[in-house]
Amino acid sequence: MKRYVAQVACFSMVVMLAAAAGCGSGKRVTRLDPSEVVDLSGRWNDTDSQQVAQKMIMDCLNHVWITQFTSSNGGKKPVVIVGSIRNRGMEHIPAATFITDIERAFVNSGRVSVVAGAEERNELRDERLDQRANASLETIKEMGMELGADYMMTGEVNTIEDREGGEQILFYQVDLTLTNIETNEKVWIRPEKLKKYIQRKRTVL
């Protein structure tokens, strides 16, 4: 009898410990407004990408190159393609997201036309080829009708990190260049700098 009671008590304790462990390992998920600024690690995030892209493109669109182009082309909007944005630092920075933010800022301005990048163009060309074999004659999109870009934007992101004890400085410099595709003339160059100070709390044992 005593042995049976001990076994039951032992089993109950195991169940309680398992339940406690399950509760402790659970996670809580809270939905946030996508526009809300949240800095957890202090590293490059979605807010940095959007704000830097918006600030730089607004500067680009207020530069003399766009006035010179429109006045020389009967008011025609320049056509821009966003090329490669290279990450030169050790930290992972999603370049595709930053490129999309740049394209969005250009499109939303209404002052330039934006054409698809290399990867997107290949998909679109494949689609047009597929249409020639499978779409009705009335809906087939013609080859050789692409809008050629006048300018290409390229750039790079550099990161410098300085750390001492529980303190850390993260410095980012984004350099963007707009180049005339026909002449290779660089018509706009802009650096944008971002510095973050991170102080980590020390755990007291």
pLDDT tens-place string over residues 68-112: 999 999 999 999 999 999 998 888 888 889 999 999 999 999 999
pLDDT tens, residue by residue, 7-33: 545 555 544 555 545 555 567 766 655
Tell me the C-alpha distance between 93 and 109, whole Å: 25
Give me the mean pLDDT over the 125-139 stretch.
Answer: 95
Which residues, other chains included, contact 200 with Cβ-Cβ below 8 Å and sequence gap of 6+?
Answer: 166, 167, 168
Evaluate if residue 35 carries a pLDDT over 80. no
Residue 193, φ and ψ in degrees, nearest 5: -110, 145
Q: Which tops the pLDDT comparison, 197 or 201?
A: 197
pLDDT band at 202 (very low <50, low <70, confident <90, very high): low
Q: What is the percent of the chain with per-residue pLDDT over 70, rounded to a whole number? A: 79
pLDDT band at 36 (very low <50, low <70, confident <90, very high): low
Tell me the C-alpha distance between 38 and 58, whole Å: 24
Which one, of 105, 69, 84, 71, lies nearest residue 188 by Cα? 69
pLDDT tens, residue by residue, 185-195: 999 999 999 98
